[in-house]
Amino acid sequence: MRFDVITLFPELFAPFLETGVTRRAYTSGLVQVHLWNPRDFAEGNYRRIDDRSFGGGPGMVMMAEPLALCLHKIRAERADAEPAPVVLFSPLGPALNHSAVAHWSDSAGAVLLCGRYEGVDQRFVDAHVTHQISLGDFVLSGGEIAAMALLDAVARLQPGVLNDEGSHQLDSFNPALDGLLDCPHYTRPEVWAERTVPDVLMSGHHLKIERWRRDQRLAITAKHRPDLITAARTAGRLDKLDEKVLREL
């Protein structure tokens, strides 16, 4: 898959693409990332890519023409049979979740537009943007962090990227866990700061361990994200024993 990132600050992505376990996805070519600076497609000595907003008000707006020229170059290089989706990171979009990440991880990729300043000329958005994505109800200085979040989440789902192939199956929100939050994890030493590892995890009894982990996932999800319990119940993912545990909680 291929992601083309339109950003005024491509240098921000260099350490991200070269660090951590997900770098395997990028260096192997499983996830190809190409960086494009719209300033390279702007005219004039100053390569201006922003201007004041019509109607007044503070801040500047990214101009449509440099972005359109940049996108045209990307499309020519990709040469896709179907035009790649164009994703704008914006407060208008739905919050990124596991379902959306799974969708993009199984796609051919997309063009990721990292907005800056007060935003992007709406005419470019209307003409070219196919998807809008938010990280939540807050505002960032630009879309770069959001683009990295999507790329990281997509990369770790690719085969061979994580040390353990089944590791991401135990992530919070994963359908393999019925959309619940993950359970607590412990490692050596067995006693730390007078706190001990739960006895059941030391028992070697795999069925009891799995039941304990399931109960912990139910308890943590019910406490912190009861909406996920409701969703799991509606989808028929909770059995009678799960419901008994929830009643006892």
Torsion 127-129-131-136 (CA) sign? negative
Q: Which residues pair with 131 in a beta bridge?
A: 87
Q: State the residue for tokens 């028929």.
A: 236
Whether 166 shows a pLDDT value over 80: the answer reads no
3-state secondary structure of 229: helix
Strand 109-113, strand 2-6: pairing:
parallel
Q: Which pLDDT band holds residue 170 (cuts at 50, 70, 90)? A: low
Whether 132 shows a pLDDT value over 80: the answer reads yes
Strand 86-89, strand 109-113: pairing:
parallel
Q: What pLDDT was estimated at residue 140? A: 95
Which one of 3.30.450.20, 3.40.1370.10, 3.40.1280.10, 3.40.630.10 gives the CATH number of domain 2-155?
Answer: 3.40.1280.10
**Residues with a known catalytic role:** 91, 118, 156, 171
Across 181-209, average pLDDT: 96
Whether 168 shows a pLDDT value over 60: the answer reads no
Same topology between domain 2-155 and domain 172-248: no
User: What architecture is domain 172-248?
Assistant: Orthogonal Bundle (1.10)
Q: Which pLDDT band holds residue 171 (cuts at 50, 70, 90)? A: low
- Distance CA(98)–CA(156), nearest Å, equals 12
Q: What are the tens digits of pLDDT across the range 83-130?
A: 999 999 999 999 999 999 999 999 999 999 999 999 999 999 999 999
Q: Which pLDDT band holds residue 147 (cuts at 50, 70, 90)? A: very high
- Distance CA(116)–CA(49), nearest Å, equals 10
Q: What are the tens digits of pLDDT across the range 66-83?
A: 999 999 999 999 999 999
- Distance CA(198)–CA(190), nearest Å, equals 9
Q: What pLDDT was estimated at residue 86? A: 98
The mean pLDDT value of the chain amounts to 94
- Distance CA(230)–CA(90), nearest Å, equals 28
Q: What pLDDT was estimated at residue 163? A: 66
Q: What pLDDT was estimated at residue 45? A: 86
Q: Which pLDDT band holds residue 215 (cuts at 50, 70, 90)? A: very high
Whether 212 shows a pLDDT value over 60: the answer reads yes
Whether 211 shows a pLDDT value over 80: the answer reads yes
CB 151 within 8 A of CB 31: yes
Q: What pLDDT was estimated at residue 172? A: 63
- Per 3-state DSSP, the chain is made up of helix, strand and coil in percentages (nearest 5) of 45, 15, 40
Whether 175 shows a pLDDT value over 90: the answer reads no
- Distance CA(189)–CA(174), nearest Å, equals 29
| Sequence ranges of the domains in the chain | 2-155, 172-248
Q: Which residues pair with 4 in a beta bridge?
A: 34, 111
CA angle at 101 for the pair 217 and 108, rounded to the nearest 5°: 150
Q: Which residues pair with 132 in a beta bridge?
A: 88
